[in-house]
Structure 1
């Protein structure tokens, strides 16, 4: 949880390290170690101070901190103070938030009373900058400008433009409005333009559209996003060698869809988790307008388990299924599932698994993939306690397949999986890139593959946040 400063008496202040349900204080040579059960320390919050408010309205802040007054003991105070800080941070009004807990003072102080002080520093009226980040095996230069807390209740407008190393570019203009309430709802409306190239499939696509997103929590960590998206997509051939199967997909299309995204993240770390799990479910129906129509469902699951200290076993599984909802509505090439590459089934080229036409990946209407990984420290632990802790040794085995849904209807699902299974394995080194992404350098061995697949044996480099 961090460092908590607790007032012991009028003249002495001790620093207590909070860990699970107990707190410990480093003793002097003449003292014995003291262990305090926080659940047994009665406490209540008498006063809450918010220092640093200027433009932010009181009601939106009060909604974030009011649960603190319901705390029954000192541990409950710490937990609710942490949750209040998270809620304040989610408003997007403040760039710095610190929390201080002290004994209650004054004529109205109770014997077990505490005073909690939040020191906040608001964002400037207009902020911006230039940054770089990595994701999906691509480096991106991003230019952004933001006007936070416009009306004093967390509303903000942000403009972003990014250009990627693979000739991709994106422009996004968004208005974001958080609301008060138990479920912490946030409404986002955005206008976007995206230009991407896919040499492995022989096409490029220009996409313009708008998205309305309502995000809320039905549980403290269970997040929902309800989205409506409408966009116009123009798919065109990339080179003169583009296959006929891709050429016949070229041209403009209009897509209107509803989407629900459910996510539950219980991991203890985003880049190198040692415990916890991640669940993401996405359901989408297109065909509420335009000429594109389908029903699509995706699942991603990740679990992490520490075998012994610093040795972590990780399992991942993902699958997706889509089907047409009308003969008069089409499924675009850009809506298909693709598999293969350093972020999914390693040992294959990007989109290298599945049907191809003259070397161009065509994708399919269903897929599944799984991975089993072991992460360990570097041999002999060089740089332990410093830069060496950013590295992990990585052992993996991946499997998966893509296929047309008609194949699944005509035959047995188990036979289809067994007859078309792709498997690869390998080892390498993974590097943490801050809290943004990780870099993997693996030596891959494709073990089972189809003659039409495009394999990538040997060294393969991947940069991203979410790997299979």
Structure 2
């Protein structure tokens, strides 16, 4: 009841002047009048004046109300209620709000800013991610364009075309005759124009066979010819960046299907100069090389070398190399040379040589053939005071005029650390004797027949292991002197022509050229030898103690290098002196060594560091126990 009374009192309208005068009078039954529904509704739904906090709206053009300023809603609501009480049937809208005043933004709330800070690694990672995203997008566009182009080409591979001409742009220093011999096999004789083809065929039907008709050319055949031409020009090493395209022929007499192969090239630098320091085969040297490419416009190369070293005191060579008939497989070269070598590390003398050589090399499906003629003047001098009598007898000049043939076949996957393939090299040399002086036109003191063979075979065992077997042999047969009364009189070979064996690159754990006959402290070499070798290459790994625990977990606890391998080997060899029977090669055991070490495969040479010991050694030979270092191109 109390609540209902309070509610009624709450929603009772405010008294007016008339009502207050009437309320002063005593209330009678006549004064009690019943309210109409409109008055009751107006009384019930009249807005209540309840104090509320001011609403703050941010912005430079919105006024910020304060506690003292009247609320627009409050000032507009009360008159509406009074009007509704007096005129309940008339509805009026509240008055419009006053326009906002321009106030300074001093009453605004401060905004909160969030700043994301990245360190250098996170910024680099974000940059890499963005770069990879761009690259993926570009790669996708390229692949789509390439795929579209490939589809167009594949759909038209059998389209008939005719090669009208081959044009090369940028070959300013090359002779046209040289290029014409290269392009001639790709250019077939052009048939007559279409309006003369019937007359031409009728007049030549008796003399022309089917084999003489030009072969039908298509887009497929011309693309293949374009690729072959680019490869051929690249093998001469006179151009860089060869770009080949097929373009519509620009000839005024060209027909619809005529096209040209256009080759855009950039010539390689004509002059080349290099200096280097070389260490190998127990010798160190400083070398200077000068080269002229495309010297006369036909892919000729003029090359000069000068070197100074610890054992080769001085050496000079000038060589001219040229292709034969614009061929990439047949070359000829002519060279002159001079060398001064110090042989005191195995013989108490020096050797000086001057000469010339002409060679012809050709590549066949079976291998490389090389025919050479050499004329050289040798002189053994600089005899040491403690030299042996054999070296003193060999002192003096000698002339060699020799014709040789060399055949090489190499199918190895790597010439320095092969795992598969084989290698074979055969060399025969004939020294021209005095009886052939008139036939050859040149004479010489060296009269012999010489043959040398070298071969190896390699096989992969899996897991990074590979095994190889190798063998070398050589025979030198001195020819009898023509002035001798007995045809069976056998001459001894000259010291510069003999074989020498031993060293890090032949029979390991022997000093260089220290096998075979020996006179006092001089190793004299021999007329026949053989050498055998077996080796096992293994993966090499060492504990990576320098790595952090995190790096060990990700990269592994072992350090490996594909160019560094372990090496286990066994070598054997024997060399017999001049005048000894060839049967003595097998009469006694060969000198044998065994050991292990490391092999590093460099891009230019092979480097070995071995630890071994001679197992069988002939008295006087220069065996080495312990560590031996080797560097060279060809190892046993």
Q: TM-score, normalised by structure 1?
A: 0.79
Using a 3 Å threshold, how does the CA distance of structure 1 residues 83 and 378 change in structure 2: closer, same or farther?
farther
Work out the CA distance in 2 between the residues paired with 1:392 and 1:239. Answer: 43
Higher strand proportion, which one?
1
CA RMSD of aligned residues (A): 3.8
Q: Does 1:440 align with 2:608?
A: yes
Q: Which residue of 1 aligns with 2:440?
A: none
Residue 452 of structure 1, aligned match among 612, 620, 632: 620
Q: Which residue of 1 aligns with 2:31?
A: none
Q: Map of 1:54-453 to 2, 5 A cutoff?
A: 54-61=172-179, 63=181, 81=227, 85=231, 87-94=232-239, 96-97=240-241, 120-180=265-325, 184-199=329-344, 200-217=346-363, 219-220=364-365, 222-288=367-433, 289-327=443-481, 331-379=493-541, 388-404=561-577, 406-409=579-582, 411=583, 416-417=585-586, 419-434=588-603, 436-453=604-621
Structure 1, 258-267 or 67-76: larger mean CA deviation: 67-76
Work out the CA distance in 2 between the residues paired with 1:243 and 1:45. Answer: 78
Give the Å deviation of 1:76: 12
Q: Is this contact kept in 1: 2:234–2:242, CA < 8 A?
A: no
Secondary structure in structure 1 of the residue aligned to 2:540: coil
Give the Å deviation of 1:140: 2.6
Secondary structure in structure 2 of the residue aligned to 1:245: helix
Work out the CA distance in 2 between the residues paired with 1:91 and 1:381. Answer: 47
Q: Which has the higher contact order (CA 8 A, sep 6+)?
A: 1
Work out the CA distance in 1 between the residues paired with 2:310 and 2:180. Answer: 45
Q: Which residue of 2 aligns with 1:13?
A: 146
User: Tell me, which stretches of 5 or more residues in structure 1 are unaligned?
Assistant: 1-7, 15-37
Secondary structure in structure 2 of the residue aligned to 1:388: strand
Work out the CA distance in 2 between the residues paired with 1:336 and 1:148. Answer: 37
Q: Deviations over 1:289-327 (max 9, x none)?
A: 121111000001121211114222111111000111122
Using a 3 Å threshold, how does the CA distance of structure 1 residues 406 and 377 change in structure 2: closer, same or farther?
same
Structure 1, 385-394 or 146-155: larger mean CA deviation: 385-394
How many residues of Structure 1 are paired with residues of Structure 2 in the alignment? 425
Give the Å deviation of 1:358: 1.0
Q: Is this contact kept in 2: 1:257–1:286, CA < 8 A?
A: yes
Secondary structure in structure 1 of the residue aligned to 2:586: helix
Q: Deviations over 1:261-303 (max 9, x none)?
A: 1111212222222211111111101134121111000001121
User: Tell me, which stretches of 5 or more residues in structure 2 are unaligned?
Assistant: 1-140, 148-153, 188-214, 250-254, 434-442, 483-490, 545-554
Structure 1, 60-69 or 360-369: larger mean CA deviation: 60-69
Give the Å deviation of 1:179: 1.5
Give the Å deviation of 1:377: 2.2
Work out the CA distance in 2 between the residues paired with 1:99 and 1:73. Answer: 18
Q: TM-score, normalised by structure 2?
A: 0.59
Work out the CA distance in 2 between the residues paired with 1:176 and 1:13. Answer: 42
Q: Is this contact kept in 2: 1:45–1:68, CA < 8 A?
A: no
Using a 3 Å threshold, how does the CA distance of structure 1 residues 404 and 304 change in structure 2: closer, same or farther?
same
Secondary structure in structure 2 of the residue aligned to 1:202: coil
Using a 3 Å threshold, how does the CA distance of structure 1 residues 9 and 443 change in structure 2: closer, same or farther?
closer
Work out the CA distance in 2 between the residues paired with 1:43 and 1:423. Answer: 68
Secondary structure in structure 2 of the residue aligned to 1:168: strand
Q: Is this contact kept in 1: 2:178–2:326, CA < 8 A?
A: no
Work out the CA distance in 1 between the residues paired with 2:219 and 2:634. Answer: 39
Work out the CA distance in 2 between the residues paired with 1:448 and 1:183. Answer: 48
Q: Is this contact kept in 1: 2:468–2:536, CA < 8 A?
A: yes
Using a 3 Å threshold, how does the CA distance of structure 1 residues 125 and 379 change in structure 2: closer, same or farther?
closer
Q: Which residue of 1 aligns with 2:631?
A: 463
Work out the CA distance in 1 between the residues paired with 2:228 and 2:510. Answer: 44
Q: Is this contact kept in 2: 1:275–1:305, CA < 8 A?
A: yes
Give the Å deviation of 1:204: 0.9
